[in-house]
Structures are given as C-alpha cells and as structure tokens.
Amino acid sequence: TKVAAQDMTVYAKWGYTVKFENTDLEDQVLEYVHVLPTIAKEGHVFGGWFDNAEFAGEAITKVTQNATIYAKWTVNKYEVTYVNADLVKETLDYGTTLPTPTKVGYTFAGWFNNPELTGEAINKVGAANLTVYAKWDINSYTVKFENCD
C-alpha cells in the first residue's frame, strides 16, 4: 500500500472481466454495461454471443457482470464444380479438404483454379464458389519380355 504525500484526486474504474471463447479476442475488462462487439471470421457467419457453450437461449448483446461468453459460428457452404474428373458438382463447407479422384493409368497431381493447370494447387474449399480442374500425370511402366524367341 502506498500513502499519498500530498492531496490528490483518485478515480475508480469499474468494469467486468469478460473471457471470450471460440474467437481470437483476448480476455478484457469491459466498462459497465458494455455492448459486445460484432466479429468476423472468414468462411463463417457470426451468430451472436452466448453465455453458455451449448448456445442455448437468446444471444446476449451486453455484459453486466464478470462472464465467460461464447461466439457462435455457422460455417458457410460453397458450390464446387469439378472439371476433368469423374466427380459431380457438390456443396461443401468452407475449409473442407477437396477429394482425391482416381483415374486408371494416371496419378492425380492436384486441383487448380484454371484450365492451364498453373499456379499453386488448391486442396481446400475457400470462401467462394469454386471451379477446380484436375491435373493428371500419366503413369509409366517398364515392361520386360522374357523368352520371346
């Protein structure tokens, strides 16, 4: 404890400790009746803040006491169209790993976002509808003939 050597005015700062779960936000001390922020996460829709991990009840918009609050997220779905592979168009969640097709006599060499098959291969669903082109490397085999007189 420190004792003041002269007259001074002191101010108290009141607030609540809030622990944020399911988000990158750091725990914070928020001022009395603080309105909670709306946050964003790529490939997801923010569904509000909840005072429980099961997201039961109504979303909350402010805190009035020390609390642990949970961000609710709904993953977005995107349409993926496959070209040069025996796969049908499908709807997948953001971040889903793309399938690995097979083709007799070839080795699958990746999915690309252009018919020239250039640039980096794509292996997951991003935050938009997607058309991907399969790249195939032809297999080579060594054939040895014996007793062929």
Residue type, 63: V
Q: Which residues pair with 9 in a beta bridge?
A: none
Please state, in angstroms and as integers, the Cα–Cα distance from residue 130 to each residue in 7, 33, 41, 95, 105, following that order. Answer: 68, 43, 19, 12, 27
* pLDDT for the residue 96: 98
Angle at 10 between CA 7 and CA 11, to 5 degrees: 165
Mean pLDDT per segment of 10 residues, for the chain of length 149 residues? Answer: 68 70 79 78 96 95 87 97 96 98 97 97 96 97 82
Q: What is the pLDDT of residue 138?
A: 97
At residue 31, the pLDDT reads 66
What is the C-alpha separation between 60 and 49, in angstroms, rounded? 5
Q: What is the pLDDT, as a whole number, of residue 12?
A: 55
Q: Give the pair of three-digit tokens for residue 121.
A: 């291969």
Please answer whether residues 111 and 136 qualify as being in contact, where contact means their C-beta atoms are separated by less than 8 angstroms: no
Q: What is the pLDDT of residue 66?
A: 85
